[in-house]
Amino acid sequence: MTDFYETLAARIDARFGVQVERIPSRCGELTYEVTRESLVEVATALRDEPEFGFEQLMDVCGVDYLHYGIDEWTTESATVSGFSRGVEREFVVMDESDSFDPRRFAVVYHLLSLKNNSRLRLRVFTGGANPPVVDSVVTVWNSANWFEREAFDLYGILFEGHPDLRRILTDYGFIGYPFRKDFPLIGTVEVRYDPEKGRVAYEPVSIEPRTLVPKVIRDDNRYRPELKDRPHG
């Protein structure tokens, strides 16, 4: 991280205190986690106060941390389930009384300050509520309107105070949220035009699940030690 961003981080820490927490970033961008209760207040200050000046919201992304950090790829051979673990995974429709892991769903905001030539990422977790919900930032950055609709459509995250929270990418009759990690890769329904009914028909998905990982991984003889270093000719 450059001295410029370390200075910016010091200003953010001094201004917001316990409302935000700096978190490591693998992509090298200054990233903070903000509490749900402080989201709109912190966002407004980051936009309006001259020392920050983040007047532009570049993107809003939903994140599903289900199974995050769990790694089954521990050998060079094929895994027990391969990619079929995504195809054959059971799609679970949660009851309204069920709750999520408080750190399963998150929303990430990518901010840009043109005046100060700086970027910042904010992350807020939705908590255990079902459905997951955070406050909308449309009143802070109007560009959040479609971004939040996309996160709602793909992850099922609700944005309290959004003026028109509707699906934006999937069809009106789509069931579930396709970017959730427990959503089946083959989906739940398929759509076709029915000439007899004269309209689009929704039917149970007919795609047959396939395992896309080879059963056997063979070594390449070109890399055998006794052949690799043998002189040519």
Token pair belonging to 16 = 């917001």
pLDDT for residue 64: 95
**Is residue 75 scored above 90 in pLDDT?**
no
Give residue 86's pLDDT band: very low, low, confident or very high (50, 70, 90): very low
Q: Is residue 84 part of a domain?
A: no
Q: Is residue 148 part of a domain?
A: yes
Give residue 133's pLDDT band: very low, low, confident or very high (50, 70, 90): very high
pLDDT for residue 124: 98
Question: Exposed/middle/buried for 99, CB within 10 Å: 0-12, 13-18, 19+?
Answer: middle
pLDDT for residue 62: 97
**Is residue 19 scored above 50 in pLDDT?**
yes
Q: Which of 81-90, 107-116, 177-186, 211-220 has the highest mean pLDDT?
A: 107-116
pLDDT for residue 69: 76
Q: Is residue 73 part of a domain?
A: no
- What's the CATH code of the domain at 21? 3.30.460.80
Q: Is residue 121 part of a domain?
A: yes
Average pLDDT over residues 44-66: 96
Q: Which of 83-97, 180-194, 207-221 comes out lowest in average pLDDT?
A: 83-97
Task: Kindly give the pairing relationship between strand 158-160 and strand 133-135.
Answer: parallel
Q: Which domain holds residue 112?
A: 3-68+95-206
pLDDT for residue 92: 52
pTM score of the predicted model: 0.78
pLDDT for residue 83: 47
Q: Is residue 111 part of a domain?
A: yes
Assess whether the previous peptide bond of 214 is cis (omega < 30° from 0).
no
**Is residue 197 scored above 80 in pLDDT?**
yes
What does the alpha-carbon distance between residue 64 and residue 179 come to, in Å, rounded to a whole number? 8
pLDDT for residue 215: 52
Q: Is residue 81 part of a domain?
A: no
140 vs 184, which has greater pLDDT?
Answer: 140
58 vs 91, which has greater pLDDT?
Answer: 58
Q: Is residue 19 part of a domain?
A: yes
**Is residue 209 scored above 70 in pLDDT?**
no
Looking at the structure of the chain, the number of domains it has is 1
Q: Is residue 138 part of a domain?
A: yes
**Is residue 43 scored above 90 in pLDDT?**
yes
Amino acid at 94: M
